[in-house]
């Protein structure tokens, strides 16, 4: 269960970052864009907490950072 849960969380984090990236380059702006990005970041925070329970805080934070830099750049 642990490996599949970690893989699922990684995919969800990747999906949130992809949505954020698209949202940053989309047509909306102002409050709507800010709210969209903020909602995605809250979800990433939740996934980070879940991931930390699976692999530990240090590994979870490293994973979050690595995915962010790969996707958002």
Average pLDDT score, the chain: 89
Whether residue 41 contacts residue 68, with contact meaning beta carbons closer than 8 Å, is answered with: no
- Tokens 């240090």 correspond to 58
- pLDDT of 1 > 70? The answer is no
DSSP letter for 27, please: S
Q: Is the model more confident about 2 or about 37?
A: 37
18 has a pLDDT exceeding 70: yes
Model confidence, pTM? 0.85
Number of domains making up the chain: 1
Domain encompassing residue 25: 2-71
């Amino acid at each position: 269960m642990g490996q599949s849960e970690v893989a699922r969380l990684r995919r969800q984090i990747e999906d949130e970052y992809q949505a954020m990236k698209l949202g940053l380059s989309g047509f909306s702006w102002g409050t709507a864009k800010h709210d969209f990005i903020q909602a995605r970041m809250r979800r990433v925070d939740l996934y980070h907490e879940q991931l930390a329970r699976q692999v530990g805080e240090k590994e979870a934070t490293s994973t979050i950072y690595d995915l962010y830099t790969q996707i958002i750049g």
